Amino acid sequence: MRYFIYLEFDGSAYSGWQIQPHSPSVQQTLEQSLALFLRQDVSVTGAGRTDAGVHASEMVAHFDLDEPQDCAWMQNKLNGILPADIAVHRIVPVKADAHARFDAISRTYKYYVTLNKSAFNRDYSWFLPNEPDFEMMNSAAEILMKTVVFTSFSKLHTDTKTNDCRVTEAKWEELPDGWWVFTITADRFLRNMVRAIVGTLMEVGRGKLTVDGFQRIIESKDRCSAGDSAPAQGLFLHKIVYPDNLFLI
Any residues with CB less than 8 A from the CB of 97 and at least 6 apart, and which? 2
Select from 175, 179, 221 the least CA-distant residue to 196.
221
Question: What 3-state DSSP class applies to 44?
Answer: coil
Q: How far apart are CA 216 and CA 231, in angstroms?
A: 24
> Among 64, 56, 66, which residue's Cα sits nearest to residue 93?
64
Catalytic residue among 10, 41, 51, 177: 51
Give CA–CA dist 112/55, Å, rounded: 11
Question: What is d(CA 37, CA 32) in angstroms, rounded to the nearest whole number?
Answer: 9
41 is catalytic: no
What residues contact 84, with CB distance under 8 A and at least 6 apart?
none
Helical H runs in the chain? 26-38, 71-81, 134-144, 193-205, 211-220
Q: Which residues are catalytic?
A: 51
